[in-house]
A and B are shown apart, each in its own frame.
Chain A
Amino acid sequence: MSAAQTEAAGGTSRWPASLLAGVAIVLAWLLVAGLGPSFSPHDPIAVDLANALVPPGSDHVLGTDSFGRDILTRIVHGARIDLMMAFFGVVGPFLLGTMVGLVAGNFGGVADAVLMRILDVTVSFPYFVLVIAIVAVLEPGLTSYFVSLTLVNWVSYARLVRSEVLVLREADFVLAARLIGVGEVRVMSHHLLPNAITPAVVFVFTDAVLTIVLGSSLGFLGLGVQPPAAEWGVMIAEGQLYLATAWWICVFPGLAIATLAFGFSLIADGLAKQLHTAP
């Protein structure tokens, strides 16, 4: 058995293929977002009605939209916004949710009861309606979107972290730390958090996918990024009228969303494998 365990431990140093593939896809998009705009030959916003609805070809590789804007250029510029959305869309909920879960799980009692009732209330609203309502009340735009996600999405992280902490706080090593006289804050930050965070970190990448898709949907509804800014969801929204005559306006931004989302899913899947097989 011990021989098997050591060999299994040695085997985990290899990263799962899905993780590597996911990282490669996301890195590629990051590169595009970082460097692409300085190389793109066209202006993403300038209207050029003479060249409207040009199909994919030599001058416009992925064609142009109804305002004559180059689709490729807009996708490249949009990558910045969508990646930013993925990042800021999960950071807030992750931080808030982790804190809430840690505190609720560690202290239990009244703190736990109050925080979990707030969580229940949040969950009891229909998800999309709640996000859209908050964005609409604030003012349509990216900042409101991030605020709204933080107020709604923290619940998933809080639940994940709390359930881990509930088990860990009874673990012998946590009791041992308390017996040494380690204070509550340090117990939470050094003993509970590092061992409770794994599922939440894995969920970050799944959540990033949802955030991009939802952000694009809001763009589509006119509540997210405002036109004429290049954002993939907005682009699809603008192209929907031309779906039959100029399919490229919708399809290419759609592919962009799909590949980025796929990359994040692969990372989530690979991380889950990597972290769960690790001893």
Chain B
Amino acid sequence: MTAPILSVEDLAVTFATAAGPVAALQGVSFALQPGEVLGIVGESGSGKTVACRSVMRLLAANAQVRSGRILFEGRDMLALDEADLARIRGDRIAMIFQNPSTHLDPLMTAGGQVAEALRAHRGMGAREARRQAIDLLAEMRIPEPERRVDSYPHQLSGGMRQRVMIAAALACRPGVLLADEPTTALDVTVQAQILGLLKGLRAEHGLSIILVSHDLGVIAQMCDRVVVMKDGKVVETGPIADIIHRPRMDYTRQLIASQPALMLPAMPSNRVREPILAVRNLSVHYASSRGLSGLLTGQARHVVRAVDDVGFSLGQGETLGIVGESGSGKSTIARAIVGLAPVHAGEIDFAGRSVRRQDAAARLRFQRSVQMVFQDPFTSLNPSFTIARTLAEPLRRHRLCAPADIAARIAELMAKVELPDDLLSRRPSQLSGGQRQRVGIARALAVEPRLIIADEVTSALDVTIQAQILGLFKKLRDSMGLTIVLISHDLAVVRHLCERVVVMRHGRLVEHGVTAEVFAAPRDPYTQELLAAIPRIAIA
């Protein structure tokens, strides 16, 4: 093994908080070899981002490095003065971030952002920097770089913005690239493109990359070696194949087991069931408000076709997955079913009755039968209600039990979602994300619904918590015979849990069928692309 290009030795970082110091990193060590891709994987709070930012000395003001060294080309980054640091940052070591929309200056063109590094470190003139920027944008495979160089961030898509950020980071040809969750905010097909781009850059320029991710699939696909972190400590380090196939530590095993992997068997489906939900030719259009001036000038409204002529049906006790990337209309379908989206045309029948023209009594009956679980457990519970109050509300509203029995019924619900009773007197802010999501599920179960619509219920959660919540859904479905519509951007989750699947793109249904068949032999080119884009843990 050659000498590492960057090594972190025994790094300890604490954050000073109002309640005393909190250890963020404890004795973290790892080394990056030249031309290597080193993965750092861990859940939120594991310290992976702090480790990455320490290298660039980009920690928050209340952070304090307690011990350790960060050696880059034989020099300790932690001991450098600001001037030396500025020479290294962006020139020799560059960093890209998770969210390109907050890390690009909204008032600067794409070319300007890229040229900035060139002008700072290479002293280039404006014209030369611009020419270089165009070349770099072309290298990042941005179409029409001569035109895009003058685009502002808001005129670019998420994937394009991430390419601009990478172009800016690589402008000075640094030897080391720190990538902190570079694809987490992106759709899976865009993620595949960005990861492919990084791979190409590494092959072409011998770039050494530290890739921080919570997604073991991404890490497995990209990295040579991986560092597993938990609670500010390194759990395990080793070549990717060893970690994936021969993990030594329990935590690593748990992390691998939590991945909703594509290798797991797909849900079988052969039972013929009586249909409970039928969606026919559904279209949901959002019209922008014209305002007074628009009204006076007779200017036409801008109409967004969020969902366009979509139809599918769902049998009693069946689990249907709706997959698609952001903006595909999958959540809009869910909202249309429960009456939260403006249906432009089409029919939605539940248990043989239209849900569109309901009187108040029918509406109330419908609300007892269909419930929704929301994506973000941090916004889906009333912050000023205790958990007991949140769960009591549906019971009272639908008079599901005598006031004296409410407490007992709530305890039953808590048991169903596997939460301890002592959480009942707490407020959502005192619960973890996974616990909140369980409360959200318990609230939906309170009315004993026949159909539950789960809208990206796991995407805001850590992967081990994700696995637990999905397990809970599975258990509830099997024990209660629930019918579930599961909306997800994650095909592995859908494959694991759903008997049938609907694939959406740009508001249209592109494929619909039995999950096992769709995954084994996708007919639509988009489904094929979507499936190919999933970072999978390779089987050696």
* Chain A interface residues toward B at CB < 8 A: 1-4, 7-11, 171-182, 190-191, 194-195, 278-279
Q: Given that A4-B15, A171-B379 are contacting pairs, would A180 and B367 also be in contact in the complex, using a CB cutoff of 8 Å?
A: yes
Q: Is B397 an interface residue (CB 8 A)?
A: yes
- Kindly provide the distance from the CB of B437 to the nearest chain A CB, expressed in whole angstroms: 11
User: In the complex the two chains form, is A11's CB within 8 Å of B380's CB?
Assistant: no
Decide if A179 touches B338 in the complex (CB within 8 Å).
yes
Report the bound CA distance from A196 to B372 in whole Å. Answer: 24
Name A191's closest neighbour in chain B (CB-CB): B382
Contact B44 A1, beta carbon cutoff 8 Å:
yes
Q: Is B340 an interface residue (CB 8 A)?
A: yes
Contact A181 B375 (CB under 8 A): no
Cβ-closest 3 pairs across A and B: A1-B45, A7-B19, A11-B18
> In the complex, what distance in Å separates the CA atom of A39 from the CA atom of B185?
69
Q: How far is the CA of A178 from the CA of B366 in the complex (A)?
A: 12
B371 x A179 contact (CB < 8 A) = yes
What is the minimal beta-carbon distance from B392 to any residue of chain A, in angstroms?
A: 11
Q: Distance (Å) between the CB of B150 and the closest chain A CB? A: 34
CB <8 Å contact, A194 and B384: yes
Residues of A contacting B398 in the complex (Cβ-Cβ under 8 angstroms) = 180-181
Q: Are A180 and B393 neighbours in the complex by a CB distance under 8 Å?
A: yes
Given A1-B44, A181-B367, A181-B397: A176 and B443 interface contact (C-beta under 8 Å): yes
From A9, A173, A180, give the contact of B381 (CB < 8 A): A173
Question: When chains A and B are docked, how far (Å) is the Cα of A278 from the Cα of B440?
Answer: 22
Q: How far apart are the CA atoms of A180 and B383 in the complex, in Å?
A: 17
10 contacts between A and B (CB under 8 A): A4-B15, A7-B19, A9-B430, A11-B19, A173-B381, A176-B443, A180-B367, A180-B393, A181-B397, A194-B384
Number of A-B contacts (CB under 8 A): 80
Secondary structure type dominating chain A contacts: helix
Given known A-B contacts A2-B432, A181-B398, A182-B397, A173 and B382 have beta carbons under 8 A apart: yes
User: Chain B residues with Cβ under 8 A from A178's Cβ?
Assistant: 340
Interface presence of B309 (CB below 8 A): no
With A8-B18, A9-B429 already in contact, 14 other A-B pairs whose C-beta atoms are closer than 8 Å: A2-B432, A4-B17, A7-B17, A7-B22, A10-B19, A11-B19, A172-B376, A172-B380, A176-B374, A179-B370, A181-B367, A181-B368, A182-B393, A279-B429
**Which B residues are CB-close (under 8 A) to A8?**
17-19
B45 with A177: CB separation less than 8 A: no
A2 nearest CB across to chain B (Å)? 5
Q: A7–B374 contact, CB under 8 A?
A: no
Q: Are B384 and A180 in contact, with the CB atoms below 8 A?
A: no
CA A119 – CA B394 in complex, angstroms? 37
Nearest CB of chain A from residue B94's CB, rounded to whole Å: 25
B374 touches A172 (CB 8 A): yes
Bound together, the chains give a CA A85 to CA B379 distance in angstroms of 39
Q: Is the pair B381, A11 in contact by a Cβ cutoff of 8 Å?
A: no
Residue of A nearest to B446 (CB): A180
Whole-angstrom distance between the alpha carbons of A178 and B371 in the complex?
11
* CA of A181 to CA of B449, assembled, Å: 13
Q: Mark B382-410, 1 if CB is under 8 A from A, else 0.
A: 11110000000110011000000000000
Residue on A with the closest CB to B430? A9
Across the interface, which residues of B come within 8 angstroms of A9, CB to CB? 429-430
Residues of A within 8 A of B364 (CB): 181
Q: Does B20 belong to the interface (CB within 8 Å)?
A: yes
Q: What is the distance, in angstroms, from B262's C-beta to the closest C-beta of chain A?
A: 30
Q: How far is the CB of A120 from chain B (nearest CB, A)?
A: 13
Is B363 interfacial (CB-CB < 8 Å)?
A: yes
**Closest chain A residue, CB of each to CB of B44:** A1
- A-contact bits for B39-56, CB 8 A (1 contact / 0 none): 000001100000000000
CA distance A67 to B20 in the complex (A): 60
Complex Cα distance, B374 from A178, in Å, reads: 13
Partner of B17, one of A11, A171, A172: A11
Between B372, B384, B447, the greatest number of chain A beta carbons within 10 A of the residue's beta carbon is seen for: B384
B20–A7 touching, CB < 8 Å? yes
A190 to B364, CA, bound (A): 19
Residue of A nearest to B22 (CB): A4
Given A4-B22, A180-B447, A181-B364, A195-B383 contact (CB < 8 Å): yes
Give Cα A175–Cα B338 distance, bound, in whole angstroms: 10
In whole angstroms, how far apart are the Cα atoms of A211 and B440 in the complex?
44
A8 to B19, CA, bound (A): 6
What residue of chain A has the Cβ atom nearest to residue B232's Cβ? A3
The reply to whether B18 and A195 form a contact with Cβ atoms under 8 Å apart is: no
Collect the chain A residues with CB atoms within 8 Å of residue B429's CB: 9, 278-279
When chains A and B are docked, how far (Å) is the Cα of A216 from the Cα of B510? 71
- Chain B CB count within 10 A is highest, among A175, A176, A195, for A176
Q: Which of A10, A175, A191, A279 contacts B374 (CB 8 A)?
A: A175
A-chain residues with CB within 8 Å of residue B371 when the two chains form the complex: 179-180
**Given A2-B45, A173-B379, A195-B382, does the pair A179, B19 have CB atoms closer than 8 Å?**
no
CB-based contact B340/A175 at 8 Å: yes
Are B380 and A176 interface neighbours, CB within 8 A?
yes
Cα separation A178 to B432 with both chains bound (whole Å):
25
Closest to B374 in A: A172
Q: Which of B314-363 contact A (CB under 8 A)?
A: 338, 340, 363
Distance between B459 CB and nearest chain A CB, rounded to angstroms: 13
